[in-house]
Amino acid sequence: MTVGAVVIGSGNIGTDMMFKIKRLSTGLHVAAMAGIDPDSDGLARAKRLGVATTASGVDGLLDMPEFAEARIVFDATSAGAHRHNAAVAAAHGKLMVDLTPAAIGPYVVPPVNLDEHLGHRQRQHGHLRAARPRSPWWQRFPA
């Protein structure tokens, strides 16, 4: 059984993240993608892959069962949008992985300090800032 992950932001980084999870992860599945541009290529690609989508941003996720069952949220929007996204994810008990430059939460460079943040502190804060992964290190998130 894989852990559900939601991607917010249907641009280059969010779409790349979606494909990396789908192609490389044995521990996660993409439960949903949220954007704000209904005509975006990223949302269209997600739909073609059978991923649940919303063009109403993080708020559009709230009534979706796919969001309810997801445990991890990757935010690939903008630093400004991230503040609201982070607050919503925290209110719903999700682990947020921030790919934007918002600079909230501990900075994680996976080869250097991922283990440090997969323990108690990470669970407490529920928020990581991370570089876009080149390898599927996020498979190591605790199930």
Ligand X SMILES: NC(=O)c1ccc[n+]([C@@H]2O[C@H](COP(=O)([O-])OP(=O)(O)OC[C@H]3O[C@@H](n4cnc5c(N)ncnc54)[C@H](O)[C@@H]3O)[C@@H](O)[C@H]2O)c1
Interface contacts to ligand X, rule CB under 6 A: 8-14, 34-37, 40, 42, 57-58, 76-78, 81, 99-101, 131-132
Decide whether 112 or 143 has the Cβ nearer to ligand X: 112
Shortest approach of ligand X to residue 125 CB, angstroms? 18
Decide whether 28 or 43 has the Cβ nearer to ligand X: 43
Decide whether 100 or 122 has the Cβ nearer to ligand X: 100
Give me the numbers of helices (H) and strands (E) for the chain, helices first please.
7, 7
48/121 Cα distance (integer angstroms)? 38
Decide whether 1 or 111 has the Cβ nearer to ligand X: 111
Residue length of the chain: 143
On the CB side of 110, CA atoms within 13 Å amount to 14
Shortest approach of ligand X to residue 55 CB, angstroms? 8
Q: Which of 141, 134, 143 is nearest to 20 (CA)?
A: 134
Shortest approach of ligand X to residue 10 CB, angstroms? 5
Shortest approach of ligand X to residue 129 CB, angstroms? 8
Sequential DSSP letters for 77-118: S-HHHHHHHHHHHHHTTPEEEE-SS---S-EE-HHHHHHHHS
